[in-house]
Chains A and B, each alone.
Chain A
Amino acid sequence: MTENTLTLISFALTMMVFSYLLGDLPLIRHLYRIAVYIFIGMSAAFTLIVGYENLLLPYWQDAQNPAISWTALGSQADIVVFGTALLFTALLLLKPVTRLGWLTNSILAVVVALGAAVGIVGALRGTLLPLLSATASLPVLDAELGALLESLLVLLGTMTALYSFHYQASSSGEGTSFGLGKAFRSIGKACVVVALGAIYAAAILSSMTILTERIAFLFQFGA
C-alpha cells in the first residue's frame, strides 16, 4: 500500500471519529460506530500478537533452553511451571461445570491469592513505605526556612486529607462534628479537591495536545 493510501485511510478514520461531534444524525452516526468497531477488532488482534510474541513465545523458548532458568532449578522445572499454567488455564474453562466447582474455584483462588500477594507487596514496597518516608522526612532545622515550611505544609495537608477520609468513613449516619475536627476535615478535603483539579487539568492539557496534532494533520492533508 502506498503512503498516500495510508494517509487517506488515516484521514477518513479521523473524520469518522470526529463525526461523533455532529450528534445523532442519520447515516453519520454509523461512521463513528464503524471506526470504534474497527478499533476494537484491531486492538484485540494487536493484544493477541503482543501477548503471543512478547510473553508466551519467549517464555516457552526460555523454558526449553537449558542455559536459562527462571526458577534456578533448571529448565525441567520451568517446563513444569509452564505446563502447570497451561493445565490450570484449561481447567478454568470448566467453570460452567458445577460438579467441578471445587476444582475451578481452587484454581481461581490460586490466581486471586497470587494477585493479592503481588498487590500487597506492590502497595507496601511501591507506595506505602516510600510515600510515608517522603512525607515524614523533614529537612534539617538549619535548612532554608521556606523548604522546612513547605515540607511541614505537605505533611499537614497529607495528614488532614487522610483524616478527612477516615472522618467520612466513620461519620456516615451521625451528624455530630467538632470545631477542630471539622476544620481539619475541610483542609484535607480542599487538598484532595486541589489534587483532583490538578489531575483533571493535566488530562485536559494532554488531550488538547493530541487534539491540536489531529487538527494539524487534517489541515496538512487538506493542503
Chain B
Amino acid sequence: MKGWRTVGASIAAITGFLVGFTALLSLLLGDNPALFGDDPQAEALAQNLALPGAALLRLLVIMLALSIVIGIANLLLLHARRMAGGRLMSGILLASFAAAIGWRILLPGEVSLLEAIQLPIESALAALLCLTLVAGGARILTKRSDIWGLLLVLVVVVVLLGSLPFPELAPIAAFSDWLMRIPAQAGARAILLGIALGSVVVGARALLGQDRSLRG
C-alpha cells in the first residue's frame, strides 16, 4: 500500500514538474525573437516557443473558473443541509442567491439589485473597517508599547494629519510627503522584493515536487 502511494506521489511530482517547467520556459522565453539572433525564422520560432505557455495558461484559467463554480455549488449544498437542520440564516443565504440568479435571468442587464443590496452592504462593511482600524491602532499602543509600535502609530497620525487641507498643517504635510517619498518607499520596495523572492522560492519548491500536498 505504501509502495503504491510512493509511486502515485512520484507520478504526480513528475507530471507537475514536466508541465510546470514547460510553462515556465515558454512564458519566460516565448515571444522573444532576439533569443534566436539573426535566424530568418526567428519570429516564427519565438511564436512557436510561446504556444505551450499560452495553451497551458488557458487550461489553468478554465480550470480555475470551473473550480469556482464547484466551490459555489459546495457552499450551496452545505447551506441546504444546514437549512434542513433548522438554521434560518442558511435559508436567507440561499434565498438571496436564488433572488440574484433569478433577477439576472428575468432582467438581464438590470443592475438595480446590485446597487440596492450588494453595494450598500459592501460600503457599510468597508466603513466599519475604518472604526476597526482606528481601534486596532489604539490597541497597538496598549499591547505593544515599544519603540516600533510607537513609530507605527506616529506615522499613521502624521500621514492622516498631512492629508488634511489646512494651511496651518503645511509643515506636517511636507514631512508626511517626505516620509512617503523616502523611508516608506524604501520599506515598501523591500517588502515587495521579499514577497517576490518568497514567491520564486515557493514556486520553485512546487515545481520540484517538494510541495507536501502533492505527495498523497
Contact = CB atoms under 8 A, between A and B. Distances in A.
B34 interface: no
A150 B179 contact: no
DSSP class of A's interface residues: helix, strand, loop or mixed?
Answer: helix
A108 B129 CA distance: 36
Contacts of B68: 47-48, 51
A164 to B, nearest CB: 8
Contacts of B33: none
B131 A21 contact: yes
Interface string A134-169: 110000000000000010011111101110010000
Contact of A43 (B66, B99, B118, B199): B118
A205 B129 CA distance: 11
A195 B191 contact: yes
Contacts of A122: 199
B186 interface: yes
Nearest to B150: A193
DSSP class of B's interface residues: helix, strand, loop or mixed?
Answer: helix
A92 B196 CA distance: 30
A183 interface: no
Give the residue among B16, B51, B61, B92 with the most A Cβ atoms within 10 A.
B16
Nearest to A43: B118
Given A33-B89, A121-B28, A204-B133, A20 B23 contact: no
Contacts of B35: none
Contacts of A214: 120, 123-124, 127
A165 B54 contact: no
B112 A55 contact: no
A116 B128 contact: no
Give the residue among B11, B65, B187 with the most A Cβ atoms within 10 A.
B187
B58 interface: yes
A112 B100 contact: no
B180 interface: yes
B189 A14 contact: no
Given A117-B207, A198-B179, A112 B128 contact: no
A39 B148 CA distance: 38
Interface in B66-123: 66-70, 72, 75-76, 89-90, 92-97, 99-101, 104, 112, 114-123
Contact of B20 (A116, A150, A213): A116
A199 B65 CA distance: 31
Interface of B: 4-5, 7-9, 11-13, 15-17, 19-21, 23-24, 27-28, 47, 51, 54-63, 65-70, 72, 75-76, 89-90, 92-97, 99-101, 104, 112, 114-131, 133-134, 137, 148, 151-156, 159-160, 163, 179-197, 199-200, 202-204, 206-207, 209, 211, 213-216
Interface of A: 1, 6-7, 9-11, 13-14, 17-18, 20-21, 33-49, 51-52, 55-56, 59, 70-73, 77-78, 81-82, 84-86, 88-89, 92-93, 101-102, 105-106, 108-124, 126-128, 131-132, 134-135, 150, 153-158, 160-162, 165, 188-208, 210-211, 213-215, 217
28 contacts: A6-B112, A9-B120, A13-B120, A14-B124, A17-B128, A35-B124, A37-B93, A44-B75, A44-B97, A51-B69, A86-B66, A105-B12, A106-B16, A113-B19, A114-B56, A114-B60, A116-B206, A118-B57, A119-B199, A119-B203, A122-B199, A128-B193, A154-B185, A161-B190, A188-B190, A191-B183, A194-B151, A213-B123
User: When A and B form their complex, which 8 residue pairs have the shortest distance between CB atoms, in order from nearest?
Assistant: A157-B186, A113-B20, A195-B187, A197-B155, A109-B16, A102-B8, A161-B190, A41-B96
Given A40-B93, A200-B133, 20 more contacts: A14-B121, A21-B128, A38-B96, A41-B95, A42-B121, A44-B97, A102-B4, A102-B7, A105-B8, A114-B60, A115-B60, A118-B60, A157-B190, A161-B189, A192-B191, A195-B191, A198-B155, A200-B137, A211-B127, A217-B120
